[in-house]
Amino acid sequence: MPGPAAFRAAFTLKWDWLRRQSLTNTLALMRIDEMLASTRPVFSVEFFPPKTDEGRQTLFETVEVLRKLDPHFFSVTYGAGGATREGTLDTTRAIRDQYDSEAMAHLSCVGETVESLREIIDRIADAGIENILALRGDPPRGEKDFEQPEGGLGSASDLAALIHETHPEIALGGACFPEVHPEAPSLEADLAYLKTKIDNGVSFLITQLFFDNQLYFDFVPAARAAGIDVPIIPGVMPMTGFRQIARISELCEATIPDPLALAMEALDGDERAEFELGVAYATQQCADLLRRGAPGIHLYALNRSPATRAILGALHASKPWEEPATAGAA
């Protein structure tokens, strides 16, 4: 991939284009698996449910800005229990109903019984939401290991089976890990488990964040060899602030390539320079993924619009998926 100077030049060029454009969202609401079967590329943006009125206002201002750039769907992460859980459903429903944009609710096993999961799934379906990302969920804060809740489920595969059994009309997504799930003993074991998600109804996958595209292009053929034949959407998180994203990456056990880390460290904490370099790097990363056959891009937006707006605008301007394909994976 190009060096920092090229990243900054690309960012400046595409940002200028973005300021001159105003795209209109004309996408029909539909299940995500149907989108992936009929459209390339599929762009999506991930949010977390806000906990305050101010956060809610910021999030929906972000939705209003980004929907003009034609993302195919938004997804909303899940917080187990209480108001955070309710926030997932309320936010997903508002995006779909008030902003006429397709939305996907995340759902995890943490802190839930099978009975409560059935209730939540019914409420999601009753709200007209047709897409769920089925997750096991991380251990609650302060706990090292995940423990299956009493009367609950212990895996995303089991959750997918429950959703598919009770609401087969819902499109199911699942998570996957190009650098191998931290708890898996090997890539082979991780892929064998991932295949059970597909067998239980998952029809598309979204990857954990990564910064080295070769990880994705090594992972996809390995998944195909393991019998996993659904679309695998790469997840990209723009490194708009080095310390924050480095902390997130450490928690996810996602590696940061040395050249990117060194370039960020050389900026000596200059927030604007970090933003520009991070957005430019992510734009080039997405363009390379699309040029080499990825079915779309899933952007982790952290509830803010500037970086995601710049990246989507740049990709719409350059259309790398229309360039001659190079070796890669679909």
Report, as residue numbers or ranges, the catalytic residues: 46
Q: Position 86: which residue type?
A: E
Whether 44 and 299 have beta carbons less than 8 Å apart is answered as yes
Pairing mode of beta strands 171-176, 42-47: unpaired
Pairing mode of beta strands 73-76, 42-47: parallel
Please classify residue 306 by burial: count the beta carbons closer than 10 Å to its beta carbon, then call 0-12 exposed, 13-18 middle and 19+ buried.
middle
CA dihedral 181, 185, 188, 190 (to 10 degrees): -30
Name residues whose C-beta falls within 8 Å of residue 243's C-beta, 6 or more positions apart in sequence. Answer: none
Report the alpha-carbon distance of residue 38 to residue 51 in Å, rounded. Answer: 36
Report the alpha-carbon distance of residue 154 to residue 266 in Å, rounded. Answer: 44
* Residue whose C-alpha is closest to residue 8's, from 265, 298, 283, 246: 283
Rg (CA), the chain: 19
One-character DSSP codes across 234-256: EEE---SSHHHHHHHHHHHT---
Question: Would you state the structure tokens that stand for residue 4, as one six-digit string?
Answer: 């920092």
Name residues whose C-beta falls within 8 Å of residue 319's C-beta, 6 or more positions apart in sequence. Answer: none
Q: Position 199: which residue type?
A: D
